[in-house]
Amino acid sequence: MKGYERRTGQRLVALGLLGALAFNYPILGLFNRAVTVLGIPLLYAYIFAAWALLIAAMALVVERGRAK
Amino acid sequence: MLQGWVIVLTSIAYLGLLFGIAYYADQRADRGRSIIASPYIYSLSLAVYATAWTFYGSVGRAAVDGVGFLPIYLGPTLIIALWWVVMRKILRISKQHRITSLADFVASRYGKSALVGGVVTVIAVIGIVPYISLQLKAVSNSFVILLQYPEIVMPATVGAVPVLQDTAFWVASALAIFTILFGTRHLYAAEHHEGMVAAIAFESLVKLLAFLAVGVFVTFVVYDGFGDVFSRAAAERELAPMLTPIESVAGGYGSWVWLTILSMLAIMFLPRQFQVTVIENIDERHLNKAIWLFPLYMLAINVFVLPIAFGGRLHFPDGTVDADTFVLTIPMFERQELLTLLVFIGGLSAATGMVIVETIALSTMVCNDLVMPLLLRMRRLALAQRPDLTGLLLGIRRGAIVLILLLGYVYFRLAGEAYALVSIGLISFAAVAQFAPAVLGGIFWKSGTRRGALAGLAAGFGVWMYTLLLPALARSDWLPRSFLEAGPLGIELLRPLELFGLAGLDQITHAMIWSMMANAGAYVAVSLLDTQSAEEHRQASLFVDVFRRDGGGARLWRGTASAPDLHAVLARFLGAEAADAVFARYARAHGGTWPDPALEADADLVHAVETQLAAAIGAASARIMVAAVAKEEALTIDEARELLDEASQVVAYSHRLEQKSRELEQATRELKAANERLTELDRMKDDFISTVTHELRTPLTSIRAFAEILLDRPDLDADERQRFLGIITRETERLTRMINQVLDLAKLESGKAEWNVASVDLRQLIDDSVAATSQLFKEKGIALETDVAPELPLVAADHDRIMQVLLNLLSNAAKFCGRPDGRVRIAARVAGGDLRVDVADNGPGINPRDRETIFEKFRQVGDTLTAKPQGTGLGLPISRQIIEHFGGRIWVESAPGRGSTFSFTLPIGPPHAGRDRPTLAAA
C-alpha cells in the first residue's frame, strides 16, 4: 500500500510538471498561430486536447494504481 | 411568460428545492446513512469553485481576450496533481486536530495562537468581500436584464437607485436568510454540514447542465458547430486577432503564468474551497477520484465558453451589450424563454452555492477565531462559567453571515461598476494567495514561527491592500484619482500600480509579484531570526510529521486538572450528553467508569477534551477554555523539545535497528558467498592434485612397464633393448618437463615467480623462436611463414617468458597442423595501442565449446581415451598466466576444419608500477 501511494504520488507530480510545461511558454507559443484544425483555431484545439489528455492520464494513474 | 413574478417564484421554488435536499441529507446523516459519502458528490462539491464569475464572467473575459480566462481553470488542474502529496497531508492534519476552518488551521499550526487566527480571519473577510459582491452583482444584473424581456437593456448604474429599490440589496438579504437557515440551524460542532454539501453538489450539476445547454444551443442551433462560429469570427476584422490571442492578452505570457499560479493557490486557500475540500471531507480516499473528476468538470464547463463569447460578439457587434451577460442575452435574443430561465437558474446556482459555502466558512472563522477568543479573554463576561454557550455561538455565526453579506453589498455599491466580473474575482484570489506561505511553509517546514507567520501575512496583505484594494476604491472615486496617477503625496516611486517603478505589467501580476515577495520574504526571514515557544514547537512537529506519528500530542502537557471541571467546560459547548459520551469513552479506555469523581484527569484526558472543544470552537479558543480550568505548568522549549525528541528518538532507534539488521543480512550473504568460493577453490585444488597425479602416473607406468620387461628378459636382442631404453628416456624427459611445468605454474599462480622485466624487441624474439623450432617444422614437413611488421615498438616484458609463450604456441601449431601439407604462419603488428601476435595453423580447428577450456589446466582437445595425449596440457595455462601478468590478453579464434589462430596482445610502452609489482614482491 505504501509503495502504491508513493508511486502514484510521484506519477501525479510528474504529470503536473508535464502539464505546467505544456500550458506555458514556449510550448504554448508553438500553437499560437493562425491555423485551424477542423475549423477550430489551433491554439484552442491544442489547449483543450492537451487538457483532456492530461485529465485522462491522471485518471489512469489514480484508478489503475488502486486496482493493483 | 417571463414576467417578474414568474422569475421570483421560480427562484424561490428553486431555493426551496435546495433547502429540501439539504434537509433530507441532514436527516439521513442523523440516522447514520449519509448520502454524501461518495467521491462523486465530493468532486461535485469541489465545483463550488465555479461561481457566477465562471458562469457569466468567463464568457465576458473570453469576449475580450480569447483564451485569457483559461489559466483560472488550468491552474487548479495542474495543482490538483500535487494534492496527492499536499492536500492529503492537510486533510490528515485537519482530521487529527479537528480543524474547523482555514484560520483555525493556521492558528493551530503556529502554537494555537489566537492572534494568528484573528489575522487570517480579517484577511479572509476583507479579501473575500469583493468576491461576494461579484455574486450579488451577477445575480441582480441577470435578474434586472431578465425583467426587460424581450428587450435587451443593460441595467442602470448602481448608486443611481436608492438602496431599497436596488435588486442587489434584496438579493443580499435573501441570501443572508437562506444561508442562516442553511448553515446555522444548529451547532454542527465536529459533524459536517452534510445537507449543505448535498445541496452544493446538486447546484454544481444544475449550473453545469445550464451552461452546457446554452453552449450546445449557441454552437449547434444558432450556429453550425464550432468550425462555423470560429470561421465567422475570423471573417470579422475586429475578432480575427483573438484567434491567435496570447500576445493580445494584456501582459502576454507573464500574465498567463501569474494567473495560473494565482488560481493554483486560490483553489487551495479560498475559504470555501478549504471548507468543502478539507472540513467537509468525510473520507480521505474521496480525494483520489476528485483528482481527475474535478478537472474534468472544469473542462466540461469551459468547452463552450469561446463559442458563446464569439457568438455574443457576432450577435451584438455594436458593444451595447455587456459581454458578461452574453450567456443570458443570446438565448433572450433568440426568444428561447425556457432556456433563458434555465440559464438564470444556473447563474443563481453558481452564485448561491458560492455565497452559502463562503459565508458559512467565513462565519465559522469569525466566530471561532476572532470573536470567541476576544470574548473569552474578557474576564468581566466570565463566559467560561456560563452553563450553555451553544446559543451564543450560533448567534455570533448568524451575525457574521449578515455582516459579511452586508459588506459585500457595500463594496458592490462602492466599487461594483468600475470592474468586470473577472477582475473583481482576481482581487479576492490575490488576497487568499497570501495564506500560501504560512500554510505550505507550516506543513513542510518545522522552523516557521508564529511571529514569522504574522509578519508574512501582514506584509503580504499590506501590499495587497496598497496595490489592489486602494486602487479599486480610487477608480470608484472614493479616493482621489491623483493617488493612482501621481502616487501618494506625489511620490512617483510609490504609485500603487507601478510600485518602485515596476511598470508594464497588468495589475494582478504586479500585485502578486510584490505581495508574494513581501509575504514569503518576511515569513522566512522572521522565522529564521525567531525562536519558537514550546507550544509552537510541538504543533510544528505534529503538523510537519503528521504521517510519521499518530497523535502523541497529549504527552506534551503537564499540569493538574479536575475531571468534573473539564466535563463542565465540555458540556457548555457540546451539551451535557455529548460531554458524558466523551468522558465515558475515556473512562472505559482507562479501566474506570463515568461518572466517577475520582477519575484522574491526566494529560490524555485534558488533550481529549481540548480536541473535542477545538472541533466546536477552534483550536485557539479551546486552548483558552482548557487553560482556564486546568492548571498547566508551562513547558520550557527545552522540555518540549526533549519530549518530542523522545518520540522521534524511538523512531530513529527503530530506523537504526532496521539498518543494522539489513547490514547483518548483507554480511551474512557475503560470508556465504566467500564460503562457497573457498569450497570451490578447495575442490579445484583437489581436482588439480588428482589430475596431476593421474598425469604423472601415465609416463611413470610406461617407464615401469618397460623397465620390468628389461629386467625379466635379459635375453632380449640389442635392438629391442635399445628401443625400450629410448622410450624410457623419452618418458622420463616428459615426466621431468611436466614436473617443471607444474612447479612453474604453481609459482606463477602464487605470484612468487621471478620476472625480469625489460624492454623487449618482439621482432628479435620471434626470429629467435622461429629459429629454435625450425628443426621441428622441417622434420614434420610443415611450411612456416613469418609476417612481422618492419617497425615494431618495444614492449615491457620478460624476455624468457615471452619466448616461452611463443615456443609453446609454435610447437602446439606444429603438433596440430594439417597433414600432409601443413602450414603455419606467425604474424606481428600494432593493433589499437597494443602489440598483437597471431599464430595460425591449418589444422582441424577447435570446437567453439572448447575454446575457453583449452586454457585450463590439463585440458586437451580431443578424446583422451582414444588419442594419445601429445603434451602436458599445461602449456596454454602457463602462457595465459604470463600474458595476463603483463597486462595483455590471449585467446583463440577457430572454426572446425578451418584451422585455428592463437593470438595474444601486449601493451606498448615502458614498464609501469602496476605491472612490475610482482617483481618487487619477488625481490
- Indicate the pLDDT class of residue B750, thresholds 50, 70 and 90: confident
- Indicate the pLDDT class of residue B156, thresholds 50, 70 and 90: low
Q: What is the pLDDT of residue B647?
A: 58
A44 and B CB contact within 8 Å? yes
- Indicate the pLDDT class of residue B244, thresholds 50, 70 and 90: low
Under CATH, what is the fold of the domain B4-448? Answer: Sodium/glucose cotransporter (1.20.1730)
For B868, residues 6+ apart whose C-beta sits below 8 A from its C-beta are none
Compute the Cα dihedral for B840, B844, B850, B855 and give only its sign: negative
CB atoms within 10 A of CB B215: 22
Residue B881 has pLDDT above 80, yes or no: yes
Contact assignment for A58 to B84 by CB distance below 8 Å: no
Contact assignment for A39 to B227 by CB distance below 8 Å: yes
Q: Can you say whether residue B5 is alpha, beta or left, with left for phi > 0 and alpha for psi between -120 and 50 degrees?
A: alpha
Q: Report domain extents, chain B.
A: 4-448, 570-630, 639-745, 756-922
Assign B759 to helix, strand or coil.
strand
For B275-312, how does the pLDDT look when each residue is reduced to its tens digit (9 = 90+)? 889 888 888 888 888 989 999 999 999 999 988 988 88
Q: Please give the backbone phi and psi of residue B837, each rounded to the nearest 5 degrees, phi first.
A: -120, 130
pLDDT (mean) for B182-190:
64
The top-scoring range by mean pLDDT among A13-17, B181-185, B684-688, B733-737 is: A13-17
Chain B residues with CB under 8 Å of A13 CB are: 81-82, 84-85
The Cα of A25 is separated from the nearest Cα of chain B by a number of Å equal to: 7
Residue B649 has pLDDT above 80, yes or no: no
pLDDT (mean) for B840-866:
68
* CATH assignment of B639-745, among 1.20.1250.20, 2.60.40.420, 1.10.287.130, 1.10.10.10: 1.10.287.130
What CATH superfamily is the domain B756-922?
Histidine kinase-like ATPase, C-terminal domain (3.30.565.10)
Percent of chain B with pLDDT over 70: 85
Residue B475 has pLDDT above 50, yes or no: yes
Chain B residues with CB under 8 Å of A45 CB are: none
DSSP code string of B592-615: --SS-TT----HHHHHHHHHHHHH
- Indicate the pLDDT class of residue B919, thresholds 50, 70 and 90: very low
Chain B residues with CB under 8 Å of A15 CB are: 81
Residue B549 has pLDDT above 70, yes or no: no
Q: What is the pLDDT of residue B458?
A: 93
pLDDT (mean) for B831-857:
80
Lowest mean pLDDT among B304-318, B408-422, B641-655: B641-655
Q: Which of B71, B84, B225 lies at the smallest CB-CB distance from A12?
A: B84
pLDDT (mean) for B454-482:
83
Which residue type sits at B315? H
B255 and A CB contact within 8 Å? no
Compute the Cα dihedral for B840, B845, B848, B854 and give only its sign: negative
pLDDT (mean) for B481-492:
71
Residue B628 has pLDDT above 50, yes or no: yes
* Closest residue, chain A, to B297 (C-alpha): A55
For B335-394, how does the pLDDT look when each residue is reduced to its tens digit (9 = 90+)? 888 888 899 899 888 988 898 889 988 988 898 888 888 887 776 666 556 666 777 888
Q: What is the pLDDT of residue B248?
A: 53
Strand B783-788 vs strand B823-831: parallel, antiparallel, or unpaired?
A: parallel
pLDDT (mean) for B480-491:
72
Contact assignment for B245 to A51 by CB distance below 8 Å: no
For B857, residues 6+ apart whose C-beta sits below 8 A from its C-beta are B688, B691, B745, B873, B874, B877
| Higher-confidence position of B741 and B89 | B89
The Cα of A46 is separated from the nearest Cα of chain B by a number of Å equal to: 12
Q: What is the pLDDT of residue B862?
A: 47
Contact assignment for A25 to B257 by CB distance below 8 Å: yes
Count CA atoms closer than 13 A to B9's CA, side-chain side.
Answer: 6
Q: What is the pLDDT of residue B867?
A: 43
Contact assignment for B70 to A62 by CB distance below 8 Å: no
Residue B251 has pLDDT above 60, yes or no: no
Q: Which of B243, B288, B296 lies at the smallest CB-CB distance from A41?
A: B243
A50 and B CB contact within 8 Å? no
Q: What is the pLDDT of residue B918?
A: 40
A48 and B CB contact within 8 Å? yes
- Indicate the pLDDT class of residue B916, thresholds 50, 70 and 90: very low
Contact assignment for A28 to B246 by CB distance below 8 Å: yes
Contact assignment for A43 to B292 by CB distance below 8 Å: no
Q: What is the ipTM of this complex?
A: 0.94
For B97-155, how does the pLDDT look when each residue is reduced to its tens digit (9 = 90+)? 888 888 889 988 888 888 888 999 999 998 898 888 888 888 888 888 888 777 777 76
CB atoms within 10 A of CB B791: 8
Vertex B618 angle, CA B613 and B624, to 5°: 70
CB atoms within 10 A of CB B102: 32
Q: What is the pLDDT of residue B700?
A: 86
- Indicate the pLDDT class of residue B864, thresholds 50, 70 and 90: very low
Contact assignment for A13 to B81 by CB distance below 8 Å: yes
- 3-state DSSP of B253-298: HHHHHHHHHHHHHHHHHCHHHHHHHHHCCCCCCHHHHHHHHHHHHH
Per-residue burial over B834-850, b if 16 or more Cβ lie within 10 Å, else e, is: bbbbbbbbbbbbbeeeb
Q: What is the pLDDT of residue B868?
A: 46
Percent of chain B with pLDDT over 90: 11
Q: What is the pLDDT of residue B492?
A: 72
| Higher-confidence position of A26 and B890 | B890
* Closest residue, chain A, to B302 (C-alpha): A48
Contact assignment for B77 to A54 by CB distance below 8 Å: yes
* Closest residue, chain A, to B78 (C-alpha): A16
Assign B8 to helix, strand or coil.
helix
Assign B635 to helix, strand or coil.
coil
Chain B segment 264-293 residues within 8 A of A by beta carbon are 288-289, 291-292
Q: Which of A20, A47, A63 lies at the smallest CB-CB distance from B70?
A: A47
Residues B77 and A44: their CA atoms lie apart, in Å, by 17
B220 and A CB contact within 8 Å? no
For B696-705, how does the pLDDT look when each residue is reduced to its tens digit (9 = 90+)? 887 888 888 8
Q: Chain-wide mean pLDDT for chain B?
A: 80
Contact assignment for B253 to A28 by CB distance below 8 Å: yes
